[in-house]
Structure 1
């Protein structure tokens, strides 16, 4: 629809609390467990973010004074299939989080050859004996100013 560059962010479920604790998550790759990405890129288990976009995001995070962690995320559009056994499997693959957009957005933007920066903030917690809703109910309202500041920094740097 004419977009020349994309910056997107949103909440995710945390799969590795000790690594993510109070940090912005910089997805460097995503496990493709959704349907959209397969319409834009050949089948593969994972899709990788463009290194240049990841570097812009990391520089913007440093400029904004925000701590972060880089790693893999798990994209699924089937929330009721986030079973304990699949969560364990994704943790073993090194996934820090679960969300619903990353791999699809990477596939579309790589197909269209436009830069895309994505970052995530932890909302609900799936790295415990019981699911913890945490910030999911507020959708990041508490920290929306810092997320917007980071998004604008990234957009200006793209």
Structure 2
């Protein structure tokens, strides 16, 4: 449809609450446990983020004074398949969050040869045996305006 670059932000489930707490998440790669990405690039278990885009995002977040953590995410489009054994497996693979779009967007961006940046804020906590269903009003939605400004800054920096 003519887009020249993508910037995406949104909430995610946290798999490592201690290291993610009060920080924005910069995905550096994503486990491909969804269906969309396979329509755009060859099958593989994981997809890497573009290092240049990651550096731009790091710079914007630092310049704007936001703490962040970089890490691997798990993209799943089957929320009822986020079982305790699978969560433990993903944590052992190094995932710090679960979300529903990163792998797909990374694949589309690679296929279309356009830059893509994504940052996430932690919402639900899946890091323990009990699912902590957090209210988005307390864990990010109230900051939506702030995140939109960050997204515009990222778009300008791309």
TM over 0.5: yes
Which category of TM-score, normalised to the shorter sequence, fits these structures? Answer: over 0.9
Per-residue CA deviations over 1:51-85 (Å, capped at 9, x if unaligned) read 11000000000111000000100000011100000
TM-score by length of 2: 0.96
CA distance in 2 between counterparts of 1:74 and 1:129 reads 18
Counterpart residue number, 1:135? 135
Alpha-carbon offset, residue 12 of structure 1: 0.2
Deviation for aligned residue 1:91: 0.2
**1:9-20 → structure 2 map (5 Å cutoff):** 9-20=9-20
Tell me if 1:62 matches 2:62: yes
Q: CA–CA distance in 2 between the matches of 1:10 and 1:152?
A: 14
Aligned counterparts of 1:110 and 1:84: Cα–Cα separation in 2: 32
Normalised TM-score (structure 1): 0.96
Is the CA contact 2:84–2:129 (under 8 Å) kept in the aligned structure 1? no
- Confirm or deny: 8 A CA contact 2:32 2:75 kept in the other structure: yes
Which residue in 2 is equivalent to 1:29? 29
Residue 138 of structure 1: how far off its partner (Å): 6.3
**Quick one: distance in 1 between partners of 2:123 and 2:92?**
21
Pair 1:4–1:139, CA change in 2 (3 A): farther
- Moved segments of 4+, more than 4 Å: none
